[in-house]
Amino acid sequence: MTKTALHLGYTGNPLDRADHMRRDAAAVQAARMNPDARFLILKDLQPLMREDKSDLYWARRSEVPSGVSILLGLDADGAPRFAVDGTPDDDIPGVPTDARVAGTLLGDGRAAIVAQARSVLDWHRRHGFCAACGSPTRLDRAGYSRLCEGCGAEHFPRVDPVVIMLAEKDGKALVGRGPRFPVGFMSALAGFVEPGESLEEAVARELYEEAGIRVHSVRLGASQPWPFPSSLMMGAFATADSFELNLDVTEISEAIWVSREEVRAVLRGEGAWTAPPPLAIAHWLLATWADSGE
């Protein structure tokens, strides 16, 4: 059968991130003053979109409110692109839009720009003080670090690694839902990677802790930034030793083994449960697994 070709949400960023400019304050300032420079405004971490929601709203410098500003990079023509955390004037024809909604509506590399902007600006909101000495910090490297004004420590935006995986056995895959998700919604199981742990080890540990199953033959499939606030989702598949489950009900309220045909029906909107939307890597995992055999 035809394999499913899916765009992973929040991936495919078309911008050159221009790392070479970040240490050059004069170059960054010149980029801000460039007449071709454009600014993505995020009000309460919601990016502005055009009123018809067909694209991001890229503001001119004269429209930019006060607030933390970071360099996103350069577009294909070399024009600078920035993001600003601020409240725009009421007369700007841009609509603040939830980043999940924006990612769904855009459906391509422009959503990755949203992920970049939201993750870094959210990090700045959370790191105004030094974790080493408690002194105030200030923005540096065009927004990609903060310097402590007390002890001089340099802090960088954090990314939290998360594994998200499908355990499979004899033509069945394991899906489940946590307590905060509605009945009827099922997804791949997931968990944060712990210090001193490989991705493969995290997959095996999380499946055992949450579902009580032992797995082997862990295969990494794809990765996806998830800007809520700043995770890196790493999708994987693993082979289970048995079908017997022992759920940690504080993490997993319900889990079931499903066939490929069941997953295909769900992805067509005809199944007995609901899958994550195409924006999420869990959707990619399910679609990829469903297409991998009969």
pLDDT tens for 245-290 read: 999 999 999 999 999 999 999 999 999 999 999 999 999 999 999 9
SS3 content of the chain, % helix, strand, coil (to 5): 25, 30, 45
- The residue ranges of DSSP E strands in the chain, in sequence order, are 38-43, 46-50, 58-59, 68-74, 80-85, 94-96, 137-140, 145-148, 154-155, 160-169, 172-177, 189-192, 215-226, 231-240, 254-259
Question: Which domains does the chain carry?
Answer: 1-125 (3.90.79), 127-157 (no CATH), 160-290 (3.90.79.10)
What's the whole-model pTM score? Answer: 0.94
pLDDT tens for 166-176 read: 999 999 999 99
pLDDT at 5 over 70: no
- 8 Å CB contact between 32 and 80: yes
Which amino acid is residue 251, in one-letter code? E
- 8 Å CB contact between 185 and 256: no
pLDDT tens for 115-140 read: 999 999 999 999 999 999 999 999 99
The Cα 27–Cα 32 span in angstroms is: 9
Phi, then psi, of 218 in degrees rounded to 5: -75, 130
- Mean pLDDT (whole number) for 225-234: 98
3 state SS of 72: strand
Q: According to the model, what pLDDT value does residue 6 have?
A: 74
